[in-house]
Every structure is written in C-alpha cells, then in structure tokens.
Amino acid sequence: MQTACPSCDLIINIPDIDAKQVALCPRCNYKIRGINVNNDIEIVALSLSALLMLLSSMFYPFISFSSNGITQTITLPDAARILFNYDSDLLGLFIDISIIILPMSLLIILIPLHLGALKALPQAVARKLLKFTLTLEPWIMSEIFLIGVLVSMVKIMSLAEVSFGISFFAYVGFVIFYVSALTRLNRTRLWSQVSPATTLQNTSNAERAIDENIKACHVCHQLSVESICPRCHSKTYLRNPYSVQKAAAWLVTSLICYIPANLLPIMYTISLGDETPATLISGVITLWSSGSYPIAIIIFFASVVVPLAKALILSFLCFMVTKPANLHTKGYTKVYQLTEFIGKWSMIDVFVVAILVALVQLGNLMSVTPGLGIVFFTVMVLCQMMAAHAFDPRLLWDSPKIITQRIKHD
C-alpha cells in the first residue's frame, strides 16, 4: 500500500503487516496503520452490546443523592434537561449531543457498515455514509463524561450519601464496549470496500508527496495529482488552505474565552439561602483542602494548565511554520500530536458541573446552579479543538519559500 504520512508528508510503501505489528513513519514515528485484519464480527458484537448498554442507561436511575432525609434521583437524560431549566441551553445541548446522540448514531451506523453495507449500497451513498461516520468520532466524549461523573462524586460524597443506580453501571459497560469497538476499527479496510486504493506511478524519485505535486486526501489518504480525490471525492490540496490563519483565529477566540472562564463562577452552591460562587481555581482549592489531592491535581491540570499550555504550544507551532525544518521538527510534531490527542479531556469540568447541577437539587436545603463561566469554558475548549484540527503539521517540515510557490501553483 502506498501512502503519504499525514504528519510529515513522507511517501511510504507499506508492506503486509503481521499480527501485533503497526506501521510507523520512519521520519516522524506517526502511526500510519495497524494490521489489516477482518474485525467485522467483533465490531458488530461490541457495537450491539454498547448500543444496548447505552439504551439501558437512559431509562433507569443513574445516581441518587440523599441529605437530611431528602433524596434526589436522576436519570442520564436529566443531566442536560435540568441545564435547559436553568436557561443553559448551549451547555445542555452539548451534553445531549456529545454523550448520547453522537455515540448512539455512530454505533447504529457501525453495525450495518461491518455487515457489508458499503458493498451493497451505491458507491456514492457508501462514500458519503463512511465520510459522515468517521467525522463523528472526535466529538464523542462518553469516556470523559464518565470520568467527570466520578470526579463529581468525590466532590459531594463528604456532603451527603451518594448511590449509583443500574443506569450508571450500564453506562460503564457502554463505555467499555464502545472503546473496544473503536480500537478494532479498520479505516483502511472500510475505504477499500468503497473503492480499492490505487498506486501512483513515477513516485520513486519523490521523497515527499509535495515534491511531485502529489496530494494526499485528508479523508481516505489516497494519493492523487487531481484536485478531487478519485476514491472519496473530497477536495484535495497540497496543504490545507489557510491552515495557520484558521488555527490562529480559533486560538485567539479561545484565549478571549479563557479569561472569563477562569474569572467568572462556573457554578453556584445555595445552602440554606446562602449562595456561594465557585470558580475553576476555587474548586481545585476545595478538593485539595478536603484531602482529594489526586483529583485536585487532575482537575487543575485538565482545566487550568492544559488549556493555557495548548494555546501557547499551538501559537508556537504556528510561528515555527515560517522557519525551515530542522533537527527539532520531529519533536515539534510529537508535541502537536499530543496536543491534539488530549484536546477534549479538558471537558471534564464541564461534565462535573452538569452532574452537580442535575443531582444537587434539594430545594432550600441545598442546590447547585450553573454559572456563566462554564459556558465560556466549554466554548474555549471547543475552539482549541478546532484550532488543533485546523493546523496542518506537514507545514513544519516544509521550506516556507517552496511551499508558498507550490500552493500558488496549486
């Protein structure tokens, strides 16, 4: 199989891979692909199991919270519904989409895809369906929501009695089956069912795809000299258009949101009529004071340090594309890959607030309401995810003068 590394643009001819082997780019160590095996039966079984667990988690008690004889029990959909009641429509919609609608949609589509639907459907339909399916995955945050639930339990266990319902354990099962299905997903094999990959001729003299004006499709990774990918019909470019400008715009927006996200309260705790605001930093201090040191450290890094570090790193990478590649470029590429990977994990605090607002509703005794800070925080993390997605790491390996000439020619 012939491809170009999505990270450094090196043209690679991948041989057959044995079990437990992966193909790594010899220049930047990017994982190109794993073994090309047929996991259809396993993925169908895991997807069905995950779908059943997800449906089961929606109709039974999820978590119960009891204090002074008053009990509040919520189901999974209540996490978003109660946010709607507090006019936090954006946050409620995000919760519903990221932990229920998107994972359910992905699982429903994965089952027929691995039962031969791509071969049975007209090629145009199969192509669009597969493109849509693979687009969903980065925006699903079920595993992060589960971690957020556990963190929120640490915060309130000292205040009252907390018990997990059947739906919670069903959701744990869903996350396990869902992650297991995704780890077995073979994108290369799925695209080959839509249309087999073709090999370009006369590429032996080219070290990188751009040297011969070869474009690597960002969707199916097919190499082509045309402006439209012959396999998935996506537009192809030597480099993603306005990559640095788009990344910079998203970064600036995220930094603007970072300030109110840290200064404004993310939630209010009302106890016996007294309202206490809580910011991101005060929440970390509270956890630390209560002795929950590991959780406090995780929240501090995920919610305060990581967003700022990501903004600084991506800003630095946007600057480095103006410099020729050097001995440190491989390290820059690894830093970018790590930044892209951890992007959505900053959402832990968003889910913590959502669970606390849904669960702690005991009338005048105690209740939690969302603050404006959590909205800014959600927008900030989403903007940083978009910035990382917009940045083209291949620019780090290019000569700025040559790439400008190539793109103008393209």
Residue 310 falls inside a structural domain: yes
Indicate the number of domains in the chain.
3
Q: Distance between CA atoms of 90 and 97, rounded to whole angstroms?
A: 11
Planar angle of CA 393, 220, 30, nearest 5 degrees: 40
What's the whole-number mean pLDDT along residues 154-176?
Answer: 85
How confident is the model over 185-192, as a mean pLDDT?
Answer: 85
Query: Could you tell me which residues come within 8 angstroms of residue 139 by beta carbon, excluding any fewer than 6 positions away?
Result: 97, 98, 102
At 34 the pLDDT is 62
- Alpha helices by DSSP H, listed for 98-200, are 102-112, 118-120, 123-136, 142-156, 166-183, 187-194
Residue 173 has pLDDT above 90, yes or no: yes
pLDDT at 186 over 80: yes
Q: What pLDDT was estimated at residue 213?
A: 84
Percent residues over pLDDT 90 in the chain = 22
| Six token digits for residue 235 | 């537009």
Tell me the pLDDT band of 179, cut-offs 50, 70 and 90: very high
Q: What's the token pair of residue 236? A: 């192809």
Could you tell me if residue 188 is inside a domain? no
Q: If you write DSSP's letter for every residue of 38-99 in order, what string do you get?
A: --HHHHHHHHHHHHHHHHHTTSS--EEEEETTEEEEE-TTHHHHHHHHTT-HHHHHHHHIII
Q: Do 340 and 207 belong together in one domain? A: no
In a domain, 403, yes or no: yes
pLDDT in tens, 76-119: 888 888 888 877 788 888 888 999 999 999 999 999 999 988 88
CB–CB of 395/244 below 8 Å?
yes
List the one residue out of 240, 222, 206 whose CA is nearest residue 130: 222
Q: Are residues 297 and 219 in the same domain?
A: no
Q: Per-residue pLDDT for 349 more than 60?
A: yes
- The SS3 of residue 163 is strand
The residue that leads in pLDDT, 218 or 174, is 174
Q: Residue 340: what pLDDT? A: 84
Residue 28 pLDDT = 86
On whether the CB atoms of residues 58 and 166 are closer than 8 A, the answer is no
Average pLDDT on 253-267 reads: 90
Top-confidence range, 87-91, 155-159, 273-277, 318-322: 318-322
Q: Do 226 and 372 fall into the same domain?
A: no
- pLDDT band of residue 175 (cuts 50, 70, 90) is very high
Judged by DSSP in three states, 394 sits in helix
Domain membership of residue 280 (yes or no) is yes
In a domain, 253, yes or no: yes
Q: For residues 397 and 332, is the Cβ–Cβ distance under 8 A?
A: no
What is the pLDDT, as a whole number, of residue 205?
A: 63
Does 222 share its domain with 306? no
Radius of gyration of the chain (CA): 24
In a domain, 169, yes or no: yes
8 A C-beta contact, residue 340 and residue 314: no
> Are residues 247 and 170 part of one domain?
no
pTM of this prediction?
A: 0.84
Residues 250 and 282 in one domain: yes
Q: Are residues 221 and 303 in the same domain?
A: no
Backbone conformation region of residue 197, classed left if phi is above 0, alpha if psi is from -120 to 50, else beta: beta
Asked if residue 135 and residue 49 are part of one domain, the reply reads yes
pLDDT of residue 64: 85
Q: Is residue 191 part of a domain?
A: no
Q: pLDDT tens digits for 1-36?
A: 778 888 888 888 877 776 667 788 888 888 887 656
Instruction: Tell me, yes or no, whether 256 and 399 share the same domain.
Output: yes
Q: What is the pLDDT of residue 386?
A: 92
* pLDDT above 90: residue 254: yes
Looking at the predicted structure, is the pLDDT value of residue 365 above 60? yes
Q: Is residue 185 situated within a structural domain?
A: no
pLDDT score of 401: 58
Same domain for 52 and 29: no
Q: Which domain holds residue 301?
A: 242-410
| Mean pLDDT score, 283-295 | 76
Backbone angles phi, psi at 353, to 5 degrees: -65, -45
The answer to whether residues 87 and 1 belong to one domain is no
Q: What is the mean pLDDT of the chain?
A: 84
Instruction: Single out the residue of 78, 403, 150 nearest to residue 299, CA to CA.
Output: 150
Q: Name the percent of the chain lying above pLDDT 70.
A: 91
In tens, the pLDDT along 27-65 reads: 888 888 765 677 889 999 999 999 999 999 988 888 887
Closest CA to 351 of 398, 395, 302, 307: 302
Give residue-wise pLDDT tens across range 290-333: 676 777 787 788 788 888 888 899 999 999 888 888 888 888 99
Residues 284 and 313 in one domain: yes
